Amino acid sequence: MLIKLAFRNIFRNFRRTFFTFIAIAVGLALMLTADSMLQGIDAQSFAKIINYETGHVKIFSLGYQKDKDNLPLDKLITAPESIVGALRRDTAVAGVTSRVNFRIMLSDRIDEIPAIGVAVNPADDESVFELKQAVAQGQFLVGSEEAMLIGDKLAQDFGVGVGDYLTVLARTKYDTYQALDLRIKGILRTEDPQIDWYSVVIPLDVGQSSLDLKQGVTEIDIKLKDINDVDSFKSKLAKEIPGLEIATWKDLAEDVLAISKAKYTGSFVLFSAIVLISLIGISNTILMAAFERVKEIGMMGALGMKRGEIVKLFVLEGTMIGLLGSITGCLLGALLVGGWMVPIGIDFSQFMRQMGPIGYRTTGHFVGVWHLIMFPVAFVFGLIVSALTSLYPAFVASRMEPSEALRK
């Protein structure tokens, strides 16, 4: 009986009910769309860090990580061959490669831009990283050829393309300077700003000989067959090769993980505020309905309806409005996520390029992902808060004395 009465009452002022549940629906839809985008940014960032920068596990020389921002060349793994050979025999390992990271000045003889040099082994880099698949123009490196790959945004800054030459100026291990005139063999497009905006990739042999490193490398990179084994593999490796530093991709992406946590805290507060502001409309709607139906409430009390039943009636009205808003919000959110955020996304590339790196590994094209667990969470959230928001006006209505209400 109460359910039928509540359902009839919410449509007595259709316009007010309509705007109230639409406000709830829009708030929930925006929350679901924003969550999809934030989850997508995280997924993109972590995938790019693993696939282009860290692999699953890295091995450094002792003390390297303390000075890693300067990319030092005096802290090398001097004999990587024995370690790489042992790792390749490990059944948990899918691939192993070695790299040298170093700072450079890149020049076209007119302008100079600071950049990061990455010397890779073309023979086995593909077993850990996806640079080869990211060559948008030209070809990947082969052997010890004196050539380079360059990020597409860096190439745009110089106005160069495949076949053009640039000069790489680098400081060697012994603090002397080395200049290399290298032909651009390929243009990289990874959507990772660390690569696309700042990186030049050369063959490992060329880097080692030019920087006076002999056979030394700054890191050994490992890809595991199961990414979930990174922590246990790190512990095992620390026992097998003491005297070296070992880090997982999570250790090396601490800044991004910290940004992610802070972002979710701020986003939760922001979007909770949006939804709560929408839900204030429910309280307003129920309260106005209570004052408009003073005589009706008095009549219900005079006919024997208890205060608890009057409270239930108004809470049911608020809950029904919340139910309509939650269903509509989830449907609208699914439409926005599936029709826009996942297949198209939002392109802030020009803005991001001017602003510079923000920690996330994205050049500004934000694409969402389906975060299905959020849909029932948003639905239940809208329903529960709608019911709770209705309690105050329901108690206001229940406190009306039948005799006084009938006189008004």
- Helix, strand or coil, per DSSP, at residue 106: strand
Is the per-residue pLDDT at 115 higher than 90?
yes
What is the secondary structure of 130-155 as a DSSP string? -TGGGEEEE----TT-SEEEEEHHHH
Q: What is the mean pLDDT of residues 135-157?
A: 94
In whole angstroms, give the CA distance from residue 280 to residue 24.
9
CA dihedral over 320, 322, 323, 327, signed as positive or negative: positive
What local confidence, expressed as pLDDT, does residue 10 receive?
A: 64
Label residue 294 by pLDDT band (50, 70, 90).
Answer: low
- Helix, strand or coil, per DSSP, at residue 97: strand
What local confidence, expressed as pLDDT, does residue 407 receive?
A: 56
Q: 399 vs 292, 297, 386, 395, CA distance in Å?
A: 15, 10, 21, 6
CB atoms within 10 A of CB 298: 19
More confident of the two residues 30 and 311: 30
More confident of the two residues 317 and 151: 151
- Residue 401 is given by DSSP the state -
What local confidence, expressed as pLDDT, does residue 323 receive?
A: 87
Q: 115 phi and psi, to 5 degrees?
A: -150, 180
Report the chain's mean pLDDT, rounded to a whole number.
83
CB atoms within 10 A of CB 289: 22
Q: What is the mean pLDDT of residues 113-133?
A: 95
What local confidence, expressed as pLDDT, does residue 324 receive?
A: 87
The ranges assigned to domains in the chain are 2-48+256-407, 63-242
In whole angstroms, give the CA distance from residue 321 to residue 313.
13
Is the per-residue pLDDT at 156 higher than 70?
yes
Is the per-residue pLDDT at 405 higher than 60?
no
Label residue 204 by pLDDT band (50, 70, 90).
Answer: very high
Cβ 200 vs Cβ 181: under 8 Å? no
What local confidence, expressed as pLDDT, does residue 267 receive?
A: 64
pLDDT in tens, 329-379: 999 999 999 998 888 888 776 666 555 555 566 666 778 888 888 899 888
Amino acid at 152: D
Tell me the sheet residues that pair with 183: 147, 165
Cβ 149 vs Cβ 187: under 8 Å? yes
Tell me the sheet residues that pair with 347: 365
Residue 26's nearest CA partner among 324, 380, 269, 408 is 324
Is the per-residue pLDDT at 270 higher than 70?
no
Q: Which of 261-270, 289-298, 336-345 has the highest mean pLDDT?
A: 336-345
Cβ 138 vs Cβ 185: under 8 Å? yes
Q: What is the mean pLDDT of residues 1-25?
A: 71
Name the helix (H) or strand (E) containing 68: none
In whole angstroms, give the CA distance from residue 396 to residue 256.
49
What local confidence, expressed as pLDDT, does residue 260 receive?
A: 66
Residue identified by tokens 């408009």 is 292
Q: Which residues contact 406 (CB under 8 A, 6 or more apart)?
A: 295, 298, 299, 302
More confident of the two residues 296 and 216: 216
More confident of the two residues 101 and 360: 101
Q: What is the mean pLDDT of residues 266-276?
A: 66
pLDDT in tens, 220-262: 999 999 999 999 999 999 998 888 999 999 888 777 666 666 6
What local confidence, expressed as pLDDT, does residue 274 receive?
A: 66
In whole angstroms, give the CA distance from residue 47 to residue 249.
10
* Structure tokens given for 104: 């450079």
